[in-house]
Structure 1
Amino acid sequence: MRLYPTRRAIGLAAFGAPVALAVALATPQLWGAAAAWILMTAGLMLADALLAARPSGLGLKLVTPQVVGLSRPGEASVEASFKGVAPREIEVAVGVNARLAAIPIRQALKLNAGWGRADVALVAQRRGEGRLEKVWARWRGPLGLVWLQRTEAPDRIVAITPDVERVKEQALRLFSRDALFGLKAQMETGEGGDFHALRDFQTGMDPRAIDWKQSGRHAKLVAREFRTERNHHVILAIDTGRLMSAPTAVGPRVDQSINAALLLAFAALKIGDRVGLFAFDAKPGVASGVVAGAPAFPLIQRLAAGIEYSTEETNFTLGLTTLAGRLDRRALVVIFTDFADPTSAELMIENVGRLMRTHLVLFVAFRDEELEALVDAEPAEPDDVSRAVIAAGLLRQREIVIGRLQRLGARLVEARGDDLGMSLLNAYLDAKRRELI
């Protein structure tokens, strides 16, 4: 329990000072009136504390979610209940660590029959473990001169994960379409499919599916029917180094990469492919074997939530060599990374080229919106022209690196963070249709 004066008590004590000074100047023998005023104020504060509701009679119950997603506020609540005498109103506050923000920080709560509940929005700042470290409750005495405060330390942990709700929303929109790889009893024709059977050609079918030899043999048009290929290995390799973990206007690129990777993992597992997760910075980090089936998605989600931010430079040689050593068959390797200039990207290009000798590489690059904005901005002063020229030079350097990767045979996905998930998914489905994996 903690006691301290309210503003009313401080104002009351301060009000007595000039009165006592005036009395002492007018009648010096009554100088003791100042001490009497202070004693009176202290006595009123003591009486207020004794008449107030007891901190021991207060029960605080903290209700929190187990998981909070980035960009999706979670709802927590503080329930307060008094036994015996209760104030009409209390103030409550929740203390959190740096990975969470509690909104509002402090709020007044009116009690009904000694009970009340305050709702608090928990906004995730970064992935990891969010902690609700303390809960404070304070209330005034009936005279309004003393604050009584009760503090509890629940040390409640909330897991901060990628924005899985957004992934689920995108996936639901995606799988509501009939044409996504046999969710209905339909067979996909064209490149990227396994031959399944022959059937009579019907109006509306693709003429390219006609098997002319079999049609001649049966004296009628016969078409081939295909099934989508399954059991491909899809490896999601996420760079968590300094450039990827640096903050941007819409959050670190590593978080945007994880959201896009989860969407691709959900779709690939649903289709029937096998998915693995790999993260690296100066050394390999999270590494999983390939898993299959939609029930395996929560495992990928938990592993992605455990990917930490890093301030170290990325070691592409160690990271991609380690990844290549884990792969025992041809796979689609999706690399999420960033680079600053052609010199720093040299080792990345060399190791990506080595990986492409065996595997199909899908290289994910973020469009640099800040540089594009500097180039497109209308100059208002001479410094704006200089910034635009420098930004244009940096963009040309990025294009040089991307061009070298494309000439090596890597497939490129370049998009803004908001569009990255769907752009990546389209590239994955296109690679399957073209039978590139």
Structure 2
Amino acid sequence: MRRSRAGTSRDFHQLRDYRDGDPFSQIDWKASSRRQMLISRDFQEQRNQSIVFLLDTGRRMRAMDGGMPQFDHVLNAVLLVAHIALRQGDQVAVKSFGGSDRWLPPMKGSHAMPILLNHLCDYQTTSAPSDFSGAVEQLMARQRRRSLVILLTNLRGEDGKELIPALQVLSARHVVLLASMREEAVQSAFSEPVRSFSSALRYLAADRYVQERREILANLGAMGLMTLDTTAKDFPVALANHYYDIKSAGRL
């Protein structure tokens, strides 16, 4: 797992003696001239930034991966990234959609993680569809401060017409990361030999599913939106690394 690197997301902290390896850009030349020795500027990560998890609880999240519903893998990723963000001094919030409309306002500090655990412990998936437009509309009304909004879902080919305009609206105010988990059943369809008409249909359906997802992800990338598309096994760490990269790049 990566950790934050020095970058535009850091605030000035203090002056200190130069250390071997400090980049020249970090040297404070005026202070060095006054003290007749090299002085470096020390920085710390920007704190008190807002991270909002926009959590899909619709029926698509019931897909099984590694013996667990995808929704459980998503919750594990949320808890990992929330833990990291809180330790960084950031705020975390949760908004659910897809048959559920729950809202945990932004919070930070040592008390935040137990509150988050209690809030998420009884989350369940529903049989409802995932209403991306409605979710974005509700979140825009509730979260006016610029935030990193992480949309956690299982992307489908038919989502493009609704999802892309919704994320365009959301990205006008917030930094948006679409985090989608690949389905194990779809991936396994490519490794099975095609020996019957039904297995050929499964292969073609899986191929179409993958191509449609790739098209949506490519369109979102062309719009400048960030995406994550990975397996359940890699999902938590990959999401944490995206958080670190966004912080280091100063995108918030």
TM-score of the aligned structures, taking structure 2 as reference length? 0.90
What is the Cα deviation at residue 217 of structure 1? Answer: 6.0
**Cα RMSD for the two superposed structures:** 2.3
d(CA) in 1 for partners of 2:25 and 2:240?
Answer: 26
Show structure 1 runs of 4+ deviating over 6 A: none
User: Map of 1:94-243 to 2, 5 A cutoff?
Assistant: 189-212=6-29, 214-215=31-32, 219-243=36-60
User: Map of 1:26-105 to 2, 5 A cutoff?
Assistant: none
Match of 2:112 in 1: 296
d(CA) in 2 for partners of 1:190 and 1:233?
Answer: 19
Matched, 1:409 2:216: no
Matched, 1:308 2:124: yes
Tell me if the contact between 2:54 and 2:95 (Cα under 8 Å) persists in the aligned partners.
yes
Query: What percent identity do the matched residue pairs reach?
Result: 27
What is the Cα deviation at residue 384 of structure 1? Answer: 3.8
User: Map of 1:282-293 to 2, 5 A cutoff?
Assistant: 282=99, 284-293=100-109
d(CA) in 2 for partners of 1:317 and 1:251?
Answer: 28
Tell me if the contact between 2:6 and 2:248 (Cα under 8 Å) persists in the aligned partners.
no
Matched residue type, 1:256: H
Cα gap change, 1:372 to 1:226, in 2 (>3 Å): same
Deviation string, structure 1 residues 295-354 (Cα, Å, up to 9, x no partner): 21111111111222200112212111101111121001111112321x333212211110
Bigger share in helix: 2
Q: Which one scores higher on RCO, CA 8 angstroms, separation ≥ 6? A: 2
Deviation string, structure 1 residues 82-118 (Cα, Å, up to 9, x no partner): xxxxxxxxxxxxxxxxxxxxxxxxxxxxxxxxxxxxx
Tell me if the contact between 2:62 and 2:69 (Cα under 8 Å) persists in the aligned partners.
yes
d(CA) in 1 for partners of 2:164 and 2:9?
Answer: 28
Deviation string, structure 1 residues 275-300 (Cα, Å, up to 9, x no partner): 11111114x52211111113211111
Tell me if the contact between 2:95 and 2:103 (Cα under 8 Å) persists in the aligned partners.
yes
1:421 to 217, 236, 241: 236
- Structure 1, unpaired ranges of 5+: 1-173, 182-187
Matched, 1:279 2:96: yes
d(CA) in 1 for partners of 2:236 and 2:91?
Answer: 18
Further displaced range: 230-239 or 361-370: 361-370
Match of 1:375 in 2: 190
Tell me if the contact between 1:190 and 1:226 (Cα under 8 Å) persists in the aligned partners.
no
Match of 1:400 in 2: 215
d(CA) in 1 for partners of 2:94 and 2:47?
Answer: 18
Tell me if the contact between 1:190 and 1:433 (Cα under 8 Å) persists in the aligned partners.
yes
Tell me if the contact between 2:65 and 2:183 (Cα under 8 Å) persists in the aligned partners.
no
TM-score of the aligned structures, taking structure 1 as reference length? 0.54
1:267 to 74, 84, 103: 84
d(CA) in 1 for partners of 2:211 and 2:251?
Answer: 29
Match of 1:317 in 2: 133
Match of 1:67 in 2: none
d(CA) in 1 for partners of 2:200 and 2:64?
Answer: 26
What is the Cα deviation at residue 201 of structure 1? Answer: 1.6
Tell me if the contact between 1:189 and 1:225 (Cα under 8 Å) persists in the aligned partners.
no
Matched residue type, 1:393: R
SS at match of 1:435: coil
